[in-house]
Amino acid sequence: MIKDKESPIRSCHFVYIVALVFGTIIQFSDESEFVVDMSKTSLIHVPKDLPPKTKVLDLSQNNISELHLSDISFLSGLRVLRLSHNRIQGLDISIFKFNHDLEYLDLSHNQLQKISCHPITTTLKHLDLSFNDFDALPICKEFGNLTQLNFLGLSATKLQQLDLLPIAHLHLSCILLDLEDYMKENKKESLQILNTKKLHLVFHPNSFFSVQVDISANSLGCLQLTNIKLNDYNCQVLLKFLSGLTGGPTLLNFTLNHMETTWKCLVKVFQFLWPKPIEYLNIYNLTIVESIDEEVFTYYKTTLKALKIEHITNKVFIFSQTALYTVFSEMNILMLTISDTRFIHMLCPQEPSTFKFLNFTQNSFTDSVFQNCDTLARLETLILQKNELKDLFKTSLMTKDMLSLETLDVSWNSLEYDRSNGNCSWVGSIVVLNLSSNALTDSVFRCLPPRIKVLDLHNNRIRSIPKDVTGLETLQELNLASNSLAHLPGCGIFSSLSILIIDYNSISNPSADFFQSCQKIRSLKVGNNPFQCSCELRDFIQSVGQVSSDVVEGWPESYKCDYPESYKGTPLKDFQVSELSCNTALLIVTIVVPGLVLAVAVTVLCIYLDLPWYLRMVCQWTQTRRRARNVPLEELQRTLQFHAFISYSEHDSAWVKNELIPNLEKEDIRICLHERNFVAGKSIVENIINCIEKSYKSIFVLSPNFVQSEWCHYELYFAHHNLFHEGSNNLILILLEPIPQNTIPDRYHKLRALMAQRTYLEWPKEKNKHGLFWANIRAAFNIKLRLVTENDDVKG
């Protein structure tokens, strides 16, 4: 979120070289046969079986000692050749005469002592002969034809002023000059460098700086010195060496890399460079030795805009901190970076400061830094990453007098906010705030600058955003990644929010209402969360599909189901669930309504066709036939006189005589009736018992009249005691008219039970149903019995 405001003119690290090399690799890496990497394989010579189409060949860090024409002549398309860190002692330039496309040639860190000059392909852009054993600079006059050359690396132990004359007309981007083995002589040597933008000089890493060569460069824009070892005695040697190099008006960027010096000499270097036209001074890997004492430093008017010091090793353990910090705090420049130094403090400038940019990343600053400091009113950007800040409330107090502060980065600290300390006192000008990688919780939303626009809170301990938070109407970009949020927040309190980063949280069911709540959102990053693939998530997936593909970042590769297990790893875009299973109301309507319609239809149909009656009659007829087949043989062989005894009320005699008897007797069914079969002289009870015992079946014609008849009660009583205990197979109940349950006496409990079970044949009123009714009656008598006469019975 917080961008470095330092100059784009960087130290001479030869970034363009890397771009050329890797740009070439990337260009051909899609076809593996074009790239051959045989580095670190202990080769002693160039392999003979290289693919002819090779374009990039890496043979670095081997033991190759010789190069021959036949080694690479067949590689006509070769563009990149790396032979650094081998043991090559001699080089004949003619071996490259067939490599017309060669652009990058690295022969550094070998044992080259001489080269044989020949014409070389003019496509060469990068030629590195540095860190070899040349006495003089290895410059061939043929190099003057390399019009596309950008980088040239050289090494020598002696220098002459016109060594570079053959290439003086070339416009090089950078020259690397290895002077590690440069031999100091009594007479002063000189070297004129023409038309190069960047010059990188490398000295011996373990020797005190003693080079007295006079190097002049006309159009130098960037100067880098590596391996500078100084003390109080040779400090002036370096300053004198720099006099000719730093006087030009075009030199804007000066870098010192791997520098060991005393504090006194370092201050002298600063003082020497202060009036120079240099705008950007960079020091990497600085080691301070011997002592640190207070030094006089005059802050002349300077063109220097930025000082950047990265990685300081302080070998002085007892020193005056004021002497150290004052030199930096009082500098009259715009930008100061002191990172990875483990400074424990930085002083507040004594006078109103010109600083607009301060970067103190990876130090040991505490909450006391810049407290009550009112001289940094021009400061616009303050970076305090990776320090030891702990109290967010004190951090806000630190800013209250920084009236121009717009960007504050206090990430990677141990910041916490305890509301009991009071309300935060941020300066109102802050618009960009980085609080990431701290120990902040939900309460942080109550301690934010009033006009914040960009807020980074990723990698904290936030579980939710309080709903009653106010004052964030100007917030446009919010990063909440790597917290513990369970819900995707809406934009109710973030009315201007356009960018939301909330990946790597605990969000399982993001709300589909988010896009309605956040109308201004133009970038949403909510991937890599434990999504629960369910009906609720389906609505969110549909919402994502309705917005532009540029809005939801990482879609679909970063959005996968985490639960349930059956869907784990499934991309959300492939998760499918039907509308029916997700819509409860629709599901109920789909199931219940058709069921109700079917039930109503069946009911109407049954009522119209009287289907229950038909089913009941068919069932009873089937059961009767089955019981008749299952009658035991010994029972069938009993001596009987009648098929059936009929018990009925006199009030129902008309139906019995006109309907029942005629329909049974025409089927040869012998009926026993009291009026024609009772024996004179016997009691009624005795006649009833005899008739029941001499009949195969007993038919009871049930009706309200039957229940009210006293004699019918007797007949049913005897039938109950003589037949019911043997089972209900010999009993036929015909319901002539409906009988309410409450009209049946309690003592007829068997009849009440049979009536409740509907184990009777109901006489249908419709004539078209009579045929099935009589069929059920006849089915009960589908058996041949050996019947005897009364005389036979008397004889017996």
pLDDT of residue 357: 97
Residue type, 430: I
Segments of the chain scoring below 50 in pLDDT: 3-31, 186, 617, 621, 624-625, 628, 636, 724-725, 728, 787-796
pLDDT of residue 321: 87
User: Of 315, 380, 322, which Cα lies nearest the Cα of 342?
Assistant: 315
Residues 445, 465: contact at Cβ < 8 Å?
yes
Q: Where are the domains of the chain?
A: 32-192, 203-333, 642-780
> For the domain 642-780, what is the CATH code?
3.40.50.10140
pLDDT of residue 538: 79
pLDDT of residue 582: 67
Half-sphere exposure for 106 (CA within 13 Å, toward CB) = 19
pLDDT of residue 185: 55
pLDDT of residue 22: 41
Q: How far is CA 540 from CA 48, 478, 498, 562, in A?
A: 61, 20, 18, 16
178/184 Cα distance (integer angstroms):
14
Q: pLDDT tens digits for 582-633?
A: 666 665 776 777 888 888 887 777 666 556 655 654 555 455 445 545 555 5
What's the 3-state SS for 632-698? CHHHHCCCECEEEEEECCHHHHHHHHHHHHHHHHCCCCCEECHHHHCCCCCCHHHHHHHHHHCEEEE
Residues 600, 747: contact at Cβ < 8 Å?
no
- DSSP code at position 537: H
Residues 61, 84: contact at Cβ < 8 Å?
yes
pLDDT of residue 723: 54
Question: Which residue reads 């109550």 in tokens?
Answer: 446
CA 320 to chain centre: 51
CA 304 to chain centre: 46
pLDDT of residue 791: 45
Q: Which two tokens stand for residue 665?
A: 């007797």
User: Of 688, 705, 699, which Cα lies nearest the Cα of 652?
Assistant: 705
Query: What distance separates the 2 farthest-apart alpha carbons in the chain?
Result: 173
Which residues are paired to 36 by β-bridges? 57
Describe the chain by its helix, strand, coil percentages, rounded to 5: 30, 20, 50
Fold of 32-192: 3.80.10
Residues 256, 283: contact at Cβ < 8 Å?
yes
Which residues are paired to 646 by β-bridges? 699
pLDDT of residue 8: 38
Tell how many helices (H) and how many strands (E) occur in the chain: 21, 32
pLDDT of residue 784: 58
pLDDT of residue 757: 67
637/623 Cα distance (integer angstroms):
22
